[in-house]
Structure 1
């Protein structure tokens, strides 16, 4: 399923008032879901909805979570996952 995860990532993050969100990053699009009442609920949803897609979890709220920031974080997470997989494959 590497091809399915390629180009996809999910970011879990809190807002400034205690709500939790997740965003699916799909190459050039950002899809936001939330707010949810708890981090636990978001984690349970993400595991079921995106079982093979890399997930980045942010624990500190940030007022700068616009689509551009989420896209940068999502793309960075994908690059990190690919580099890690390539390093493991070479060993």
Structure 2
């Protein structure tokens, strides 16, 4: 829960030629890692490194993955998870 509130998330995404990347969004910083050859390997690595951090996975490759786009996507994922938790708590 703390990670969702302080701006920490991870985005997993493919590139245009079949490699896989992840970006850690931490506040206003974006840290990119990759390419990785295997989606499975990348998911295992992210699960070990960030077990309690919200992860957004994109399946369609895009050439528009600049830092601003990744931050927007990371923030949207955190807000969605917080909203869902609050909704569940009220039911």
Residue of structure 2 equivalent to 1:3: 2
Instruction: Kindly provide the CA deviation profile for residues 31-84 of structure 1, in whole angstroms up to 9, marking residues without a partner as x.
Output: 000000010011000000000111100011000000010000000000001100
1:27 shift after superposition: 1.6
1:4 shift after superposition: 3.3
Cα RMSD of the aligned pairs, angstroms, is 0.8
Question: Is it true that 1:65 corresponds to 2:79 in the alignment?
Answer: no
* 1:5–1:52 Cα contact (<8 Å) kept: no
Contiguous gaps of at least 5 residues in structure 2: none
Within-5 A mapping of 1:9-20: 9-20=9-20
TM-score by length of 2: 0.95
CA distance in 1 between counterparts of 2:55 and 2:18 reads 20
* Displacement over 6 Å in runs of 4+: none
Within-5 A mapping of 1:45-84: 45-84=45-84
